[in-house]
Structure 1
Amino acid sequence: MANTKEIQERMASINDTLKITNAMYMISSSKLKKSKKMLEDTEPYFYALQSQMGRILRHVPDMESIFFRTSEKSPEEKRAGYIVITADKGLAGSYNHNILKIAEEHLKSQKKHKLFVLGEVGRHYFEKRGCHIDKQFHYTVQNPTLNRARNITEELLLSYIKGELDEIYIIYTKMVSPIKEEAELLQLLPLKKADFQVQIPAGIPIEQVSFRPSPEEVMNRIVPRYIEGFVYGALVESYSCEQNARMMAMEAATKSAKDMLHELSILYNRARQAAITQEITEVIAGAKSQKKKK
């Protein structure tokens, strides 16, 4: 059994760690509330864009657009771009691991690809494994803003319009519920018309709409804003999931620390009791030996 001094030192160390995990839990909780508010403030605008895209396709279903094109290349010849959103630091449970696992699986299956990485954890991971990173977006995941989402979107659309990429995917973490989150891969481009089609009930007339200068031009103006909104939403949702995962990890660490302190407290009391008993035994033994001498 360890002596009382060793147990006290260990308890002091755990108490210091407990203060850190408690502080990190509170910080993540505050950031989570902020990120949810950011998403709620911008969602209506981008949902309205999605609705307008569906409205245009309802009136002009056979419209041709570069953003809805279907590549005739074989899967081996297609060039895909992958946006991978990770965190800038760890201590967030399996948050980063789940994202990187999906990313690595798809990168292995797609021979021709471009890799766009957001987050220092992802950058270190791919660099360590010798994966070429085509573009890194620094300091984005800790402060997701619409302007940064716009910069990322411009970079992606430029590669897509030039024909350097046939498909663009985004790998991020989606919050399913307050206690559940999932790493997800979604195709950003090309878009699928079926995703925007809304069935109008029979008997309801379709309104007359005119597009200036043309439906194609209007759509080509709206789609970049829609992609921009999706990227921004993915950044904010990933940030929310990161903070939520860190909160849960810190909560578990705090609970473990308290359990360890409870066990060490029992050990400390036993060691202290044993030391007192030993001292009493020595005093009694000494007193007996003095009596015998007399």
Structure 2
Amino acid sequence: MASLKELRSRIASVQSTQRITSAMKMVAAAKLRKAQQSAEAARPYAERMERMLASLAAGATGANAPKLLAGTGKDDTHLLVVVSSDRGLCGGFNGNLVRSVRNKISDLESAGKTIKLIIIGRKGVSLLRRDHGGKFVEKYEELAKPAPTYEGADLVVTKIMSMFDAGEFDVCTLFYNKFVSALTQEVTPLQLIPFGNAVSDVEDPAAGSDTPYEYEPNEEVILSALLPKNLSVQVFRSMLESFASEQAARMTAMDNATRNAGDMIHSLQITYNRSRQAQITKELIEIISGAEAL
């Protein structure tokens, strides 16, 4: 059994940890409110842009269709863009994301595909480096510090576009955690290139209308200008969603850690009181025994 001094030291240590986790919970909660507002504000714009481009894509199915819409015509090389966090202590946030990416890599490799990875966030780099480090083509750390920016997303898209123009991949898929609530975050894959396959299920805003639409300039010209912008919008949106999910996951994890620390302190306090009472009882018995012996 641990001595009273050791128990006091352990109680003080757990109390110090509890104060840290409680402070981290409050910081994450404060950041979550702003991050949630930013993520929710970005959704309507990104979703509406996808719907508009889907409507345009329906009328641009010819030989002049933009390359981002038509793709390369092959499915041999896949580029996976993974949006993780730069910091830990956020529960299963990064673990669930990396697990989904690993499953996707396994499925593609079993089908004979070539895989390339672009990683956003230090934790994604560290978790995927051992098994798939040879597939890295670029990694971005501290890109979302202190918060995601459109310029940061545009930096990632510039790399994606340069690789696509050079014919280095055929399909690009983005993996990120979508913010659902403070308790729920969903790992979401989103195909960026080719765009046509990614929006096959998107509702056509002109559906149900008999009014024909004419575009000036034509659909191909508009798509050529907007599709690269859409990549930046979707990557920026995923970074905002991921950042909000990270804060929610950290708040939940730190709340659980604070509660567990409280339970541990209570258990240690009971053990300490019992040990102290046993020590006092032992000393009283020794005093009484000594008095009787005299």
> TM-score with structure 1 length normalisation?
0.88
Identity, % of aligned positions: 29
CA offset digits 1:55-77 (Å, max 9, x no partner) = 4345x25352212215543x5xx
Secondary structure, counterpart of 1:27 in structure 2: helix
1:140 is aligned to: 143
2:100 is aligned to: 102
Whole-Å Cα distance in 1 between the matches of residues 132 and 233 of structure 2?
Answer: 32
1:231 is aligned to: 235
For 1:117, which of 107, 116, 119 is the aligned residue?
A: 119
Return 165-174 or 43-52, whichever deviates more: 43-52
Alignment of 1:32-111 (within 5 A): 32-57=32-57, 60=59, 62-63=61-62, 64-73=65-74, 75=75, 78-108=76-106, 109-110=108-109, 111=113
Instruction: Note if 1:282 corresponds to 2:286.
Output: yes
Structure-2 change in CA distance of 1:90 and 1:201 (3 Å): closer
CA offset digits 1:166-209 (Å, max 9, x no partner) = 1001111122333222222221110125344527565x431543
Q: Which amino acid aligns with 1:26?
A: M
Whole-Å Cα distance in 1 between the matches of residues 93 and 202 of structure 2?
Answer: 31
Whole-Å Cα distance in 2 between the matches of residues 221 and 199 of structure 1?
Answer: 20
Q: Which amino acid aligns with 2:40?
A: E
Quote the offset at 1:164 in angstroms: 1.9
Whole-Å Cα distance in 1 between the matches of residues 56 and 187 of structure 2?
Answer: 32
**Greater Cα radius of gyration, structure 1 or 2:** 1
Whole-Å Cα distance in 1 between the matches of residues 48 and 69 of structure 2?
Answer: 19
Whole-Å Cα distance in 1 between the matches of residues 84 and 206 of structure 2?
Answer: 40
Whole-Å Cα distance in 2 between the matches of residues 62 and 191 of structure 1?
Answer: 12
1:19 is aligned to: 19
CA offset digits 1:8-55 (Å, max 9, x no partner) = 111001001101111111111112112112223333433342343244
1:162 is aligned to: 166
Whole-Å Cα distance in 2 between the matches of residues 130 and 210 of structure 1?
Answer: 45
CA offset digits 1:106-153 (Å, max 9, x no partner) = 334344222101111122233333622111112124421111111111
1:28 is aligned to: 28
CA offset digits 1:204-262 (Å, max 9, x no partner) = 431543312x3211111111222211111111111111111111111111111111111
Is contact 1:168-1:188 (8 Å) kept?
yes
Secondary structure, counterpart of 2:133 in structure 1: coil
Equivalenced residue count is 284
Q: Which amino acid aligns with 1:37?
A: Q
Secondary structure, counterpart of 1:185 in structure 2: strand
Is contact 2:176-2:189 (8 Å) kept?
yes
Whole-Å Cα distance in 2 between the matches of residues 39 and 90 of structure 1?
Answer: 21
CA offset digits 1:245-284 (Å, max 9, x no partner) = 1111111111111111111111111111112211211221
Q: Which amino acid aligns with 2:141?
A: H
Secondary structure, counterpart of 1:83 in structure 2: strand
Q: Which residues of structure 1 form unaligned runs of 5+? A: none
Instruction: Note if 1:222 corresponds to 2:220.
Output: no
1:244 is aligned to: 248
Whole-Å Cα distance in 1 between the matches of residues 186 and 55 of structure 2?
Answer: 31
Whole-Å Cα distance in 2 between the matches of residues 268 and 114 of structure 1?
Answer: 56
Q: Which residues of structure 2 form unaligned runs of 5+? A: none
Whole-Å Cα distance in 2 between the matches of residues 149 and 271 of structure 1?
Answer: 59
Whole-Å Cα distance in 2 between the matches of residues 114 and 56 of structure 1?
Answer: 30
